[in-house]
A and B are shown apart, each in its own frame.
Chain A
Amino acid sequence: MELIAFYIFAAIITVSAMAVIAARNPVHSVLWLILCFFTAAGLFVLIGAEFLAMLLIVVYVGAVAVLFLFVVMMLDVDFVELKQGTLEYWPFAGLVGLAFIAEIAIASFARGPGARDVFNPAPGADTNAEAIGAVMYTDYVLLFQLAGLILLVAMIGAIVLTLRHRPEVKRQNIARQTARRRADATTKVSVEPGKGL
């Protein structure tokens, strides 16, 4: 049962990953990528790592891929021009792919055939989430914090690079706006007939 599910998910991942590259329309590429992420989460569920699966969906599918989709939809790319010269990159891409396959092969051979049977998704705890939390906030707390700091620096860097102060733009001061009363903005004038102000 589990095996059947695994092969179904694996087949979907492989096909959708290929379709990411093969799709002519970049928006379709991103949609295939989302399917790929989603099925990968399914694989996580299969090995009992449901916490990681949910995080994968929340972070990658729910946030990162939305931003991808945003960017790709907004771009006005000439697809024909983009497709030209793709062939030149194939040797390089093939090399990278080969390196990936070799690494995975080495890793799985080094672990040996029985590795899957001794796999425990939640070592030393009831649930997946507890197991991860117990390790992440004790032994690896410095590394964890460091990773967060790096992300923060990257975010601030991006904001600093793109922030422009434009003095000619009129901005609304929310505090002042909400503090405004009718007396501040209007005056009552009784105009005598035939005279005007």
Chain B
Amino acid sequence: MSGLIEQNGLLGGWLMVIGQMLLFTVVLLLSLAFLLLMDRKVWAAVMMRKGPNVVGPFGLLQSFADFGKFLLKEIIIPSGANKTVFLLAPILTLTLAFAAWAAIPVAPGWVISDLNVGILYLFAVSSLGVYGIIMGGWASNSKYPFLGSLRSAAQMVSYEVSIGLIIITVILLAGSMNLSDIVNNQGGGFWTWHMLSFNHLLLFPVMLAMFVMFFVSALAETNRPPFDLPEAESELVAGYQVEYSSTPYLLFMIGEYLNIVLMCAMMAILFLGGWHGPVPLGADFVNQFPAWMVNLGHLAWFMAKIVFFFFLFALTKAVVPRYRYDQLMRLGWKIFLPTALVAVVVVGGYVVYSGVQA
């Protein structure tokens, strides 16, 4: 951002920054509409249903119809609710979900803010996401939402620990906390992706395990099935969302799905080479084209990876039964935490003794 201001002057720089933010927001919201549909379609396909297919061809416009419905309904605020906090919670969730995208590099140089501590920023913002849920559950002044928010807070705090440690292994391997550097560290084809890391063959089993653990932790962190205990409909009706209706509910839902897409993007960046294609061939040919066209190609790879992970999220929702709460906690604290801790030691030792980083 400061670079843009230096290049284009104060006013031009600010306009560029605001333009980038608008572009990100619009693209994210639009793609979210279709990802939501994809989620429902995949779910339906597993159950051998057709899914939404009435609004538009193949139900493509279903999300927009839902959007209109949410906007036009009445906002109901329970009389015993803490009004300010009640309305603040969904706004907070949505804002944080968008804020995290400021640090995501979608193609070489295409990022709103290329932070030195990009990965920590993502971690920090996603750890703030729990407040929207706690505040929403508490402010509703009702039993089920409160229980749901307590569950979700405990769950998210627990799995953040293992996510943090897994991220540390990637940071150690890449030698940087800058997301662009982490992606460029995996630029040499799919065998250098951190998920496989064939170029550090000793670490292959470790990093593969870290990747799987990150995926599972991401499911738990975003309260997705099989870890959707905060909104377990069979016990808590809908958890922290029970009292929400209309637009506040919509904000919660958009925030939740944006967080899921964010987790997919994080997995793509940390483990699957971000914007890099699987085989680094034809670089000479590609570089004949102007830079923005090359970047569009990179963007396509990045989005393809995100969609792939989103598909996995949707599939998991459809095929895996819900965990019991004590098993969830056991998995987080007794299995993931020690394993990730050992992995940090192993990767750290490897990096020190093999001198991977300069």
Q: Which residues of A contact B (CB under 8 A)?
A: 25, 27-28, 31, 34, 50-51, 54-55, 57-58, 61-63, 66, 69-70, 73, 127-129, 174
Contacts and interface: CB of A to CB of B under 8 A. Distances in A.
A72 to B, nearest CB: 10
Contacts of A34: 131
Nearest to A58: B124
Given A62-B127, A73-B138, A129-B177, A31 B85 contact: yes
A58 B157 CA distance: 11
B116 interface: yes
Contacts of B130: 62, 66
21 contacts: A27-B85, A28-B85, A31-B85, A50-B115, A51-B120, A57-B127, A57-B128, A58-B124, A58-B127, A62-B124, A62-B160, A66-B130, A66-B153, A69-B153, A73-B134, A73-B138, A73-B146, A73-B150, A127-B177, A174-B327, A174-B330
B138 to A, nearest CB: 6
Contacts of A51: 116-117, 120
The SS class assigned to the A binding surface is: helix
Contact of B124 (A57, A66, A73, A174): A57
B232 to A, nearest CB: 19
Interface string B78-102: 0000100100000000000000000
B150 A70 contact: yes
Contacts of B135: 31
A166 B108 CA distance: 58
Interface in B106-164: 115-117, 120-121, 123-124, 127-128, 130-131, 134-135, 138, 146, 150, 153, 157, 160, 164
Interface in B270-312: none
A66 B157 contact: yes
Nearest to B127: A62
A66 B128 CA distance: 9
A127 B171 CA distance: 14
A129 B123 CA distance: 15
A70 B153 contact: yes
A184 B157 CA distance: 38
A189 B330 CA distance: 37
Given A31-B135, A62-B128, A54 B121 contact: yes
Nearest to B138: A73
Given A27-B138, A129-B177, A55 B127 contact: no
Contacts of B157: 62-63, 66
Contacts of A58: 120, 123-124, 127, 164
Looking at B131, B164, B330, which has the most chain A CB atoms within 10 Å of its CB? B131
Contacts of B115: 50
B160 A129 contact: no
Contacts of B120: 51, 54-55, 58
A34 B153 CA distance: 15
Given A62-B160, A129-B117, 17 more contacts: A31-B85, A50-B115, A50-B117, A57-B127, A61-B124, A61-B127, A62-B124, A62-B128, A63-B157, A69-B134, A69-B153, A73-B134, A73-B146, A73-B150, A127-B117, A127-B177, A174-B330
Contacts of B82: 25, 27
Contacts of B131: 34, 66, 69
B344 to A, nearest CB: 14
A141 B45 CA distance: 56
A129 B127 contact: no
Contacts of A66: 130-131, 134, 153, 157
